[in-house]
């Protein structure tokens, strides 16, 4: 891009390869941004709440994913629009930081049902064409000439409204007390997250698994949770209610030889990253064998090397070998003869988890193996699932009881992956409550309370920011409206009824009765959301809106 002047001294801009570029400026650019954001929100809207619907995502390779997890939906979507890509990044940020609430953050960002009064056009200007209904929510925040509001003033109003909402959330939050002996509040919070997932039929089971897995690896004094100590693995077959929590490590492997022991008690485990094979020269070499005697000599050398390796393992006191690499049939046979069960081809992350769980050391060379580097487990067993060819290794009763594995069962791989995502969300919600034990109530009650507070505060704002604050308040109403719509209720009727009840009773816990339990009090229904999750939704959405409002020129490079 360069700046030049015509013969009258007037400046104008020349863009390099202008004929190959697309450019949107001013109101057209902001309209394009709003349309992109609205399209994403409409996709996500129907997946919100316990009555939300799932999406089926088909990749270019034909891989099918069925999910209602907001982060997964956006990650699997092929988005072209630049603003839609920002929304995908927003979803990833919410998922990385909080782990849940990715659908709600987009509804807060892009939806709002009530238009603000537009600035009347000058008398000589013909009336503008009617705004399509799908664009009305955010069109009202457009800069002149559409509405006469400067984008920066809108952004300032949004920021002011966000601070009011954050303050209101702190006011209506309740503190819950829990411990290893009293996990009921954690179970209720995890159940709220799982209520909209595919596992909702087995809600008590999966909530208990998620909470106990997190508590197993949590340090309640430091309020810290190490998710690296939680492994989730799946095995196709069985039903969803066969999913279980294992206090130890589960490997999708089997004992290397059929005649080795299938169960070892008081296991002393040598964790090896060195292969069971003769050492190889470090340079290129060629071995010529010209007679049977020379071949037998080579075979005897290999056997001696294998026996020396096995002897070193036995001398250390180990009675189980876990090896990162494979070994041939001869080495496997020798291990069996020396009564030394082995597991081969174990991945690096699994080796690290075994070392942590058993308090063992990973040994890179046989010469370094000693009794002090062995891991210890109360029981190691091979478990058969379904047919005799489908086996897994369970390493249980480990010295470090903080390492756990969730074994997920389901009818197909797609179902197992969705269950894993559901459990991950529930675990993240539980972790958030351990970090900050303050909660707000779900069902859209927190959003309605914030909307009422912002609307009341807007009445006392004399500046033009009042319009932006009202727009922000109306945008928050999108969450209870979506919940009502997905539950088969009239969105407007449900919203006005609940909002009027909140104001009349002064009860910020009233929300949408999506589960049709006969009460709108979310505390009675035990619908809990961590406070930090709600705060993060509003903060991230507001930051992104402010950034989008400041964009008034889009230049898209093209190709000839």
Q: What is the DSSP string of 197-256?
A: STTGGGHHHHHHHHHHHHHHHEETTTTEE-GGGEEEEEEEBS-GGG-EEESEEEES---S
Q: Which of 330, 549, 432 is nearest to 96 (CA)?
A: 432
Q: Which CATH class is domain 1-176+437-560?
A: mainly alpha
C-alpha distances out from residue 14 to 4, 18, 24, 71, 130, Å = 7, 8, 15, 41, 35
Task: Given the residues 65, 67, 69, 529, select the one marked as catalytic.
Answer: 69
Task: Given the residues 425, 513, 521, 529, select the one marked as catalytic.
Answer: 425
Look up 405 and say whether it is catalytic: no
User: Where in the chain are the domains?
Assistant: 1-176+437-560, 248-400
8 Å CB contact between 275 and 326: yes
pLDDT at 377: 92
pLDDT at 138: 39
8 Å CB contact between 552 and 155: no
Task: Given the residues 65, 72, 103, 542, select the one marked as catalytic.
Answer: 103
Look up 425 and say whether it is catalytic: yes
The CATH H-level superfamily of 248-400 is GroEL (3.50.7.10)
pLDDT at 455: 92
Q: Give the Cα separation of 425 and 430 in Å (integer).
A: 9
The ranges of the chain with pLDDT < 70 are: 1-10, 12-23, 99-148, 280-282, 285, 387-388, 557-560
pLDDT at 558: 55
Look up 519 and say whether it is catalytic: no
C-alpha distances out from residue 437 to 19, 93, 100, 433, Å = 58, 22, 16, 5
pLDDT at 103: 67
Per-residue pLDDT reduced to its tens digit, 306-318: 888 888 899 999 9
Task: Given the residues 65, 67, 72, 102, select the one marked as catalytic.
Answer: 102
């Amino acid at each position: 891009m360069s700046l030049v002047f015509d013969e009258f001294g007037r400046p104008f801009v020349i863009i390099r390869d202008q004929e190959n570029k697309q450019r949107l400026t001013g109101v057209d650019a902001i309209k394009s941004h709003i349309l992109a954001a609205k399209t994403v929100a409409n996709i996500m809207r129907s997946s919100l709440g316990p009555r939300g619907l799932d999406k089926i995502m088909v990749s270019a390779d034909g891989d099918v994913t069925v999910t209602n997890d907001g982060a997964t939906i956006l990650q699997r979507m092929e988005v072209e629009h630049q603003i839609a890509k920002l929304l995908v990044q927003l979803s990833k940020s919410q998922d990385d930081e909080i782990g849940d609430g990715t659908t709600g953050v987009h509804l807060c960002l892009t939806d709002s049902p009530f238009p603000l009064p537009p600035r009347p056009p000058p008398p000589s200007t013909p009336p503008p064409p009617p705004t399509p209904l799908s664009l009305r929510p955010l069109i009202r925040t457009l800069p002149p000439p559409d509405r006469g509001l400067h984008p920066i003033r809108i952004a300032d109003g949004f920021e002011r409204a966000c601070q009011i909402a954050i303050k209101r959330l702190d006011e209506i939050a309740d503190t819950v007390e829990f411990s290893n002996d009293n996990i009921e509040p954690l179970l209720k919070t995890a159940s709220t997250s799982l209520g909209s997932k595919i596992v909702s039929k087995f809600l008590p089971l999966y909530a208990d698994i998620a909470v106990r897995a997190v508590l197993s690896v949590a340090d309640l004094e430091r309020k810290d949770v190490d998710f690296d100590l939680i492994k989730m693995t799946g095995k196709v077959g069985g039903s969803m209610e066969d999913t279980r929590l294992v206090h130890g490590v589960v490997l999708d492997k089997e004992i290397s030889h059929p005649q080795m022991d299938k169960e070892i008690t008081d296991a002393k485990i040598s964790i090896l990253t060195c292969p069971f094979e003769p050492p190889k020269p470090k340079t290129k070499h060629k071995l010529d064998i010209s007679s049977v005697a020379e071949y037998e000599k080579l075979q005897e050398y290999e056997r001696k090397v294998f026996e020396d390796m096995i002897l070193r393992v036995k001398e250390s006191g180990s009675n189980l070998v876990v090896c990162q690499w494979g070994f041939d049939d001869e080495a496997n046979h020798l291990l069996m003869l020396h009564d030394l069960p082995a597991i081969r081809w174990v991945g690096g992350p699994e080796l690290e988890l075994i070392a942590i769980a058993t308090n063992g050391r990973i040994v890179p060379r046989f010469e370094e193996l000693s009794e002090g580097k062995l891991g210890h487990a109360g029981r190691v067993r091979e478990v058969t699932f379904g047919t005799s060819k489908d086996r897994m290794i369970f390493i249980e009763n480990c010295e470090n009881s903080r390492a756990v594995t969730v074994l997920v069962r389901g009818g197909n791989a797609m179902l197992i992956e969705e269950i894993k995502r559901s459990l991950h969300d529930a675990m993240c919600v539980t972790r958030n409550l351990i970090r900050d034990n303050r909660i707000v109530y779900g069902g859209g009650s927190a959003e309605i309370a914030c909307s009422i507070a912002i609307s009341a505060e807007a009445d006392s704002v004399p500046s033009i920011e009042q319009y932006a604050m009202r727009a922000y308040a109306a945008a928050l109403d999108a969450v209870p409206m979506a919940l009502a719509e997905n539950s088969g209720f009239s969105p407007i009727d449900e919203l006005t009824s609940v909002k009027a009840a909140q104001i009349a009773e002064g009860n910020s816990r009233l929300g949408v009765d999506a589960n049709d339990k006969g009460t709108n009090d979310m505390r009675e229904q035990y619908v809990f959301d961590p406070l930090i999750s709600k705060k993060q939704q509003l903060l991230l959405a507001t930051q992104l809106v402010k950034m989008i409002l400041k964009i008034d020129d889009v230049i898209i490079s093209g190709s000839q």
